[in-house]
Amino acid sequence: MDKPIDIKRRGYLNFFKDGVRDALIEGNADDYKKFSAYYKKGYEFGLELYEDLYGKDWENENGV
């Protein structure tokens, strides 16, 4: 049985992963999830990965 702290951590990790996915695949942030600091960190990390992978600034390239 999972401890409450493990369940909480899994939720944080899911928000982080969703942020990374949205930055790399969707190209925009989910307004519903923006309240989460973990989502924001994941989204920022995803934008950094995009720049590292493609040598481009996604937000400037797409007028965001």
Q: How does DSSP assign 36-48, residue by residue?
A: -HHHHHHHHHHHH
Q: Residue 58: its pLDDT value, please?
A: 62
Arithmetic mean of pLDDT over the chain: 87
13 falls in which pLDDT band (50, 70, 90)?
Answer: very high
- pTM of the entire predicted model: 0.77
Burial class (CB in 10 A: 0-12, 13-18, 19+), 8: exposed
- At 7 the pLDDT is 81
Domain of residue 37: give its range.
4-61
Q: What does the pLDDT read at residue 1? A: 74
- Joined tokens for residue 7: 């369940």
Tell me how many domains the chain contains. Answer: 1
The pLDDT of residue 39 is: 96
Comparing 22 with 64, which gets the higher pLDDT?
22
